A and B are shown apart, each in its own frame.
Chain A
Amino acid sequence: MRSFLINRLSQSLVLLVIVSIIGFGVLNLIPGGPLAQYGLDPGMTQDDMARLTEQLGLNRPIWVQYFEWAGGLLQGDWGHSFRDGAPVLNVIGRHIVATLLLMGSSTAVAIAIGTWIGIRGATHRYSVFDYTATIGAMVALSIPTFWFGLIGIYVFSLRLSWFPAGNMYTIGDGSVLDVLHHLVMPSIVLALVHIAIWSRYMRSATLEAINQDFVKTARAKGLSERRVLIKHVVGNALLPMITLAGMQLPSVLTGALVTETVFTWPGMGRLFLDSLGYSDYPVVMGLLMFSAILVILGNLIADFIIAIVDPRIRLA
């Protein structure tokens, strides 16, 4: 157990260093840079640009900049945003709640519905339900989220006025009910794709479990079909789903780029897009490291849970 942890943590550390080097390198290789936004300003001269470049330390060799950034990170200093001057961790912190709310609710919906559809599709294989679910999943997966989002806004906001046309809350209101009202459409739109993915995985995992010998044994022992399904089939089918959930953890916290943009949701996905657009290096790097850490954590947690749930697996 301990050797497993040490092993995994040291692997993770190497991984983080590699990710940071690649990220930093690629980010700095992109032509343009943080000052391109002033390129069309009528009054900014090249002297102003050169001065800002030097003040931001961008004229130094890239490895010097990298070591300064990495050194800061090791001491807990994630740097300051070029755009609004706030510490990177504050910037991330101010966007994470919105994302957690949106992704959390849509993931919960997706897992519940997706698991149910998957199990039912597998136990009623080739039924009308199964075909409908399969086609539905294909449709949901192949139609882009932004299209769903825009159609949703057009139909349910502009025409029917059931739900607001985006935003997280009404400015000046912001009560729990108000937020929930705003949450409905984006979380459903986002959940659609996830339901599709979850139901497909769950269906195949269930199908695989159904044909296992222990299921036949359970039936032979005279257990009720319901008990066989819940205890023996679903229990085993859920194992790969834990890994899937672990891999999805980062996305729950890093947000959905498209959905957040369409629904004007002030979350992490949009923060990432904006920071990239303005070449806000410290924030982009912060987000990159943040999600890398989450990927590692998610996998680690999934491994632990599987080890606990599945008696065949021992961590070593």
Chain B
Amino acid sequence: MTKITTKAASYSRRDAMRLLAAGGVLGLTAPHLLGKPAFAQTPPSAPTGRVIVGLSQEPTVFHPLMAKIEVDDGVHFSIFDALFRITPEGVIVPNLATEVPSLENGGISEDGLNWRVRLRDDVKWHDGTPFTAEDVKFTLELIVNPDFRAWRTTGHSQVRDLTVVSPTEITWRMEEPFAPYMSFLTETFIVPKHVLEGEADPNATAFAQAPIGTGAFKWGQRVPGDHLELVANPDYFGEGPYIEQLVFKYIPDLTVFYSQFESGDVDLTGQVYITPDRYQDALKLPDRTITMVPKSSFESFYLNLGRPQFQDLAVRQALFAAIDRKAIIESLYYNVPTPTETFMPRQSYYYNPNLPVQEYNLERAAQILDEAGWLPGADGVRAKDGVRLAFTNSTTSGDPLREQVQQFLQQTFGSIGIEMAIENLPSAVMWGDFWQQSQFDSVIVGSTWVIGADPDVTNRLHSGSSNAKGGRGSNNAQYANAEVDALLEEGARTYDPEARREIYFRVQELVRNDLPYLPLFQNVSIVGQKSGIAGFVSNANTRTESWNAAAWYWQA
């Protein structure tokens, strides 16, 4: 047993339950905290072998604090450590820290403003220098350095008075109580002060091309456009690593991506995983294990409430009733994803299971529109007060499954006098101003709203988060509900999981009634791996399949 697991296990049952609640996502695939396999198998005593992870996008950002995308995460989780980590069960456990601060253990003050984090004293950077609280201070300060092209700054921008009490203890004060910060810290990787402090330009460092971390793997070499090779760090303080090399292989074409898994060039399929249309085929491959892994992201028919035709709740209800979700999931998505009524992942502690279940009923949909006064005009399209019930729907072009959903819905809507035009855009265009400034009528989008396992969705649902209305955030539906606003503000200030649970249950209920978006299903990724790889556990609370590659090994 390693130190990490001992630490995690030393929590009392009550502690564990509380942390579980704080984290949120309950056991998904494995009962073990840190990715230990459920069967009796022993990893090798020294790192051996190599695992090649296939990725359909290329990781290019290696400074873990700089603006990055999902695919870069696998590299960061392998090279670096954060203060805490989140398990597949949604429990936040110590990583570089020795305990998770809470109101109970005094790590967080009663008012939620003062934080104290105690750190391990046995951690070394890959170059041999000891890790200390100075590195944590440097990291949190670098993120808010105005010249630094940091990734996200939410939470970090509220940190004040960072104080290094001792090499193993750091304290700070928050400008406001902000419960989600703990989840943010599970994705905030600590960088070495002694390597970075002398750099004149924080955005152009040698470190960004060959990073130095504390993690289970050290930087090996990179062949741009092809692959990235990490090597085992034998001095890692935690469990593992058991493989000598961890390789991230970039394969842009989806057909070729699958072919290379089939041919054995790739040992494990990372993002974008195996597409649903190949699921049945993949099950037949010899010596491969195919796992369905629920993701935190959900697919929705997302509406722009700034458009007059969508301002009427009756229209949104009618559209929702006109969507045959069962047919979409079964016929178009090969029955892989699960239907949902909310943005909250089904596995979350905060998932509200009591929401009304959508029913597909075309006659009911037409009736709702009739009653609300949306009557068919001369051209067959319904209209009310001069507003035609016509709109465009957009999504990233080149996604054949979503395109089929669009055509399917276009037909159904058309049959009850709703005109939907399809106008798809390349992703670089789609998710720019078009999306962020609410220039769309409606889109089909798959997105994750929660950060780690924290239920806070202020960024998505608070009325102050609509850019098109002068706000700041990602409430691109321009949804506004005063009660939701108040609940979200309260939720972010509240540290008690049970109290928060009530708050977010109510939020989901209100949003389900208001229908600013029409929930379709929760996404599932299909991960394929060679059966010889042991120790692989997926974690829906992170964005990467490689969150714990340290635990992987080849069965003898």
With A43-B152, A80-B204, A94-B224 as contacts: A166 and B260 at CB distance below 8 Å = yes
With A33-B428, A274-B225 as contacts: A42 and B249 at CB distance below 8 Å = no
- The answer, yes or no, to whether A165 is at the interface (CB within 8 Å) is yes
Which of B61, B184, B259, B447 sits near A157, CB closer than 8 Å? B259
Q: Are B262's CB and A277's CB within 8 A? A: no
- The answer, yes or no, to whether B45 is at the interface (CB within 8 Å) is no
Partner-contacting stretch, out of A47-55, A127-135, A244-252: A47-55
List residues 321-357 of chain B with CB under 8 A from any CB of chain A.
none
Q: Are B436's CB and A46's CB within 8 A? A: yes
- The answer, yes or no, to whether B380 is at the interface (CB within 8 Å) is no
With A37-B428, A84-B61, A266-B226 as contacts: A274 and B252 at CB distance below 8 Å = yes
Interface size range on A against B? 35 or more
| Chain B residues within an 8 Å CB radius of A43 | 151-152, 154, 184, 451, 459
| Chain A residues within an 8 Å CB radius of B203 | 55, 85
Question: Given the complex of chains A and B, what is the CA–CA distance between A264 and B56 in angstroms?
Answer: 11
Which of A52, A154, A166, A266 sits near B225, CB closer than 8 Å? A266
With A166-B260, A171-B247 as contacts: A83 and B61 at CB distance below 8 Å = yes
Question: Given the complex of chains A and B, what is the CA–CA distance between A277 and B58 in angstroms?
Answer: 12
With A38-B67, A274-B252 as contacts: A157 and B154 at CB distance below 8 Å = no
- The answer, yes or no, to whether A298 is at the interface (CB within 8 Å) is no
Which of A48, A83, A158, A167 sits near B262, CB closer than 8 Å? A158
Question: Given the complex of chains A and B, what is the CA–CA distance between A263 and B265 in angstroms?
Answer: 13
Q: Are A32's CB and B432's CB within 8 A? A: yes
With A33-B428, A166-B259 as contacts: A42 and B448 at CB distance below 8 Å = yes
Question: Given the complex of chains A and B, what is the CA–CA distance between A152 and B225 in angstroms?
Answer: 22
Partner-contacting stretch, out of B107-115, B272-280, B366-374, B467-475: B467-475
| Chain B residues within an 8 Å CB radius of A153 | 256, 259
| Chain A residues within an 8 Å CB radius of B26 | none
Q: Are A171's CB and B149's CB within 8 A? A: no
| Chain A residues within an 8 Å CB radius of B223 | 94, 266
B299 to chain A, nearest CB (A): 12
B59 to chain A, nearest CB (A): 9
Question: Given the complex of chains A and B, what is the CA–CA distance between A63 and B505 in angstroms?
Answer: 51
- The answer, yes or no, to whether B103 is at the interface (CB within 8 Å) is no
Question: Given the complex of chains A and B, what is the CA–CA distance between A91 and B69 in angstroms?
Answer: 20
- The answer, yes or no, to whether A39 is at the interface (CB within 8 Å) is yes
List residues 23-63 of chain A with CB under 8 A from any CB of chain B.
30-33, 35-49, 51-52, 55-56
| Chain B residues within an 8 Å CB radius of A297 | none
- Specify the chain A residue showing the minimal Cβ separation from B67: A52
- The answer, yes or no, to whether A270 is at the interface (CB within 8 Å) is yes
List residues 244-295 of chain A with CB under 8 A from any CB of chain B.
261-264, 266-267, 270-271, 273-274, 277-279
Q: Are A158's CB and B428's CB within 8 A? A: no
- Specify the chain A residue showing the minimal Cβ separation from B59: A84
- The answer, yes or no, to whether A95 is at the interface (CB within 8 Å) is yes
List residues 232-269 of chain B with CB under 8 A from any CB of chain A.
245, 247, 249-253, 255-256, 259-260, 262-263, 265
- Specify the chain A residue showing the minimal Cβ separation from B445: A40
- The answer, yes or no, to whether A164 is at the interface (CB within 8 Å) is yes
- The answer, yes or no, to whether B429 is at the interface (CB within 8 Å) is yes
Q: Are A85's CB and B430's CB within 8 A? A: no
- The answer, yes or no, to whether B52 is at the interface (CB within 8 Å) is yes
- The answer, yes or no, to whether B50 is at the interface (CB within 8 Å) is yes
Q: Are A83's CB and B229's CB within 8 A? A: no
- Specify the chain A residue showing the minimal Cβ separation from B249: A171
- The answer, yes or no, to whether B209 is at the interface (CB within 8 Å) is yes
- The answer, yes or no, to whether B217 is at the interface (CB within 8 Å) is no
Q: Are B154's CB and A45's CB within 8 A? A: yes
Question: Given the complex of chains A and B, what is the CA–CA distance between A219 and B460 in angstroms?
Answer: 84
B480 to chain A, nearest CB (A): 16
Q: Are B435's CB and A171's CB within 8 A? A: no
| Chain B residues within an 8 Å CB radius of A273 | 252
- Specify the chain B residue showing the minimal Cβ separation from A85: B208
Which of B50, B435, B445, B451 sits near A42, CB closer than 8 Å? B451
List residues 69-96 of chain A with CB under 8 A from any CB of chain B.
80-81, 83-86, 91, 94-95
Question: Given the complex of chains A and B, what is the CA–CA distance between A274 and B429 in angstroms?
Answer: 14
Q: Are B432's CB and A39's CB within 8 A? A: yes
B432 to chain A, nearest CB (A): 3
- The answer, yes or no, to whether A21 is at the interface (CB within 8 Å) is no
Q: Are A83's CB and B428's CB within 8 A? A: no
Q: Are B256's CB and A262's CB within 8 A? A: yes
Which of A42, A52, A166 sits near B256, CB closer than 8 Å? A166
A262 to chain B, nearest CB (A): 6
Q: Are B252's CB and A32's CB within 8 A? A: no
A83 to chain B, nearest CB (A): 4
Q: Are A278's CB and B428's CB within 8 A? A: yes
| Chain B residues within an 8 Å CB radius of A154 | 259
Question: Given the complex of chains A and B, what is the CA–CA distance between A7 and B45 in angstroms?
Answer: 71
List residues 419-436 of chain B with CB under 8 A from any CB of chain A.
426-436
- Specify the chain B residue showing the minimal Cβ separation from A279: B428
- The answer, yes or no, to whether B100 is at the interface (CB within 8 Å) is no
A114 to chain B, nearest CB (A): 28
Question: Given the complex of chains A and B, what is the CA–CA distance between A52 and B154 in angstroms?
Answer: 14
Q: Are A165's CB and B447's CB within 8 A? A: no
Which of A32, A45, A164, A171 sits near B472, CB closer than 8 Å? A45
Residue in A40, A81, A86, A168 with the greatest tally of chain B CB atoms within 10 Å: A40
Residue in A47, A171, A264, A274 with the greatest tally of chain B CB atoms within 10 Å: A264
| Chain B residues within an 8 Å CB radius of A242 | none
Q: Are A264's CB and B252's CB within 8 A? A: yes
Q: Are A85's CB and B265's CB within 8 A? A: no
Question: Given the complex of chains A and B, what is the CA–CA distance between A95 and B224 in angstroms?
Answer: 7
Question: Given the complex of chains A and B, what is the CA–CA distance between A49 and B428 in angstroms?
Answer: 15
| Chain A residues within an 8 Å CB radius of B451 | 42-43
| Chain B residues within an 8 Å CB radius of A38 | 67, 69
Q: Are A37's CB and B69's CB within 8 A? A: yes
A15 to chain B, nearest CB (A): 28
- The answer, yes or no, to whether B60 is at the interface (CB within 8 Å) is yes
Q: Are A165's CB and B434's CB within 8 A? A: no
Question: Given the complex of chains A and B, what is the CA–CA distance between A199 and B327 in angstroms?
Answer: 52
Which of A48, A168, A266 sits near B153, CB closer than 8 Å? A48
| Chain B residues within an 8 Å CB radius of A171 | 50, 52, 227, 229, 247, 249
Q: Are B260's CB and A30's CB within 8 A? A: no
Q: Are A41's CB and B249's CB within 8 A? A: no
- The answer, yes or no, to whether A150 is at the interface (CB within 8 Å) is yes
- The answer, yes or no, to whether B449 is at the interface (CB within 8 Å) is yes
- Specify the chain A residue showing the minimal Cβ separation from B69: A37
| Chain B residues within an 8 Å CB radius of A91 | 224
Question: Given the complex of chains A and B, what is the CA–CA distance between A279 and B433 in angstroms?
Answer: 14
| Chain B residues within an 8 Å CB radius of A98 | 225-226
- The answer, yes or no, to whether B450 is at the interface (CB within 8 Å) is yes
Question: Given the complex of chains A and B, what is the CA–CA distance between A84 and B433 in angstroms?
Answer: 23
- Specify the chain B residue showing the minimal Cβ separation from A165: B263
| Chain A residues within an 8 Å CB radius of B104 | none
Question: Given the complex of chains A and B, what is the CA–CA distance between A165 and B432 in angstroms?
Answer: 35
Question: Given the complex of chains A and B, what is the CA–CA distance between A88 and B223 in angstroms?
Answer: 15
A130 to chain B, nearest CB (A): 37
- The answer, yes or no, to whether A172 is at the interface (CB within 8 Å) is yes
| Chain B residues within an 8 Å CB radius of A166 | 251, 256, 259-260, 265
Question: Given the complex of chains A and B, what is the CA–CA distance between A55 and B151 in angstroms?
Answer: 12
Question: Given the complex of chains A and B, what is the CA–CA distance between A98 and B401 in angstroms?
Answer: 34
Question: Given the complex of chains A and B, what is the CA–CA distance between A276 and B367 in angstroms?
Answer: 48
- Specify the chain A residue showing the minimal Cβ separation from B63: A85
25 contacts across the A-B interface (CB closer than 8 A): A32-B428, A32-B433, A36-B428, A36-B431, A36-B435, A37-B431, A42-B474, A43-B151, A43-B154, A43-B451, A44-B152, A45-B152, A45-B153, A55-B149, A85-B61, A86-B209, A91-B224, A154-B259, A165-B256, A171-B50, A171-B229, A261-B252, A262-B253, A262-B256, A266-B223
Q: Which 6 A-B pairs have the closest CB atoms?
A: A39-B431, A32-B432, A266-B225, A266-B226, A36-B432, A32-B428
